[in-house]
Amino acid sequence: MKKIINTPDAPKAIGPYSQAIEANGMLFISGQIPIDPAIAKVVEGGIKEQTEQVMKNIEAILKEAGYTFANVVKSTCLLSDMEHFAAMNEVYGKYYAENPPARAAFAVKGLPLGVMVEIETIAVK
């Protein structure tokens, strides 16, 4: 049985999807972009600020579902340009100092609202 996870501490879905779905001890978090849920706008700044907000959004959803970053087994990072990879990686790495998850990172043609980064996450209990 699937359970829909929703928290006001992460951005509302801007389309026909859920923030996250939990099923069979697994949590599937939709791609998070750098929207600050308090103001419902993309954060100002560059890739580091945007990645920090994305990770905060992921953390809020993990917490709402009773998970932590230690439960994350896979991330997919989408970047508007691979030139942003090193800076994104620096911020991302702070959240996974030990036993980081498997990961893929891609440059894509475009991301919602013209952001520089989007990260989707899978966690397991």
Domains of the chain: 2-124 (3.30.1330.40)
| pTM across the whole model | 0.97
Q: Which of 123, 105, 4 is nearest to 51 (CA)?
A: 105
Closest CA to 28 of 51, 50, 58, 70: 58
What is the three-class DSSP state of 125?
coil
Name the β-bridge partners of 36. Answer: 41
Q: Give yes or no for a contact between 23 and 41, defined as CB atoms under 8 angstroms apart.
A: no
pLDDT tens column, 37-85? 999 999 999 999 999 999 999 999 999 999 999 999 999 999 999 999 9
Contact 56, 11 (CB under 8 A): no
Residue 1 binned pLDDT confidence (cut-offs 50, 70, 90): confident
% of the chain with per-residue pLDDT over 70? 100
From residue 97, give the alpha-carbon distance in Å to each of 65, 70, 93, 111: 22, 10, 6, 27
Question: Per residue in 20-39, pLDDT tens?
Answer: 999 999 999 999 999 999 99
